Amino acid sequence: MPDGGAGGDTAFGAGGCASDAGGRTAVRISACHDGYAHLPGRPRHCRHWEWASDGGCLAVSDELAARHAFARWAVQQAPSVARYHLAPGLTLAQQDACTWRVQAGSELLATAHVEEGRASVEAWQHAAAFGELQDACTLAVALDPRTGRSRVVWRWGATALPCPRLPEPTVERPTAN
């Protein structure tokens, strides 16, 4: 779908539902863009959000899709990172190799479990108003260079159930011009 921009295109899809054995459902929303078309292989970025109906978790997947072998190689050479910015005052504490705790002081607010990709914490500054910057942190998740994908599952509360997993989305691959 044209986005009215400078020759780029975007795609947005809503839909998809799945249930787990307990009857909980999840909804998927997906969006793609070709904003990296200036890079070798013209990779396309897609992000998928899966929200469990009980509100217990949100799974976010990112994917860079390239159309031929050289393009996939080029994507592997350039690090691609999905960043999740937290509000000032919130901190990230590593719980294990793949899980991070989001805290306000000593209170646990959520966990982020990195199922695909490699996570680290970066400092950033939140612009609260013009000229007013506040220190904050970001969970930076490098996409797996072999697959061009990352997946982070966010859970709220200490007793959140696992996310139901939807079938893999069909990603529209760029076509050769």
Q: Tens of pLDDT along 68-117?
A: 666 666 666 777 899 999 999 999 999 999 999 999 999 999 999 999 99
Q: How far apart are CA 30 and CA 60, in angstroms?
A: 10
Residue keyed to tokens 């396309």 = 44
Number of Cα atoms under 13 Å in the Cβ half of residue 147:
13
By C-alpha distance, which of 112, 120, 118, 122 is closest to 60? 112
For residue 61, what pLDDT band results from cuts at 50, 70 and 90? very high
Count of other CB atoms within 10 angstroms of residue 59: 23
| % residues pLDDT > 90 (the chain) | 40
Q: Which CATH class is domain 10-156?
A: mainly beta
Q: What is the pTM of this model?
A: 0.73
By C-alpha distance, which of 76, 17, 55, 37 is closest to 174? 37
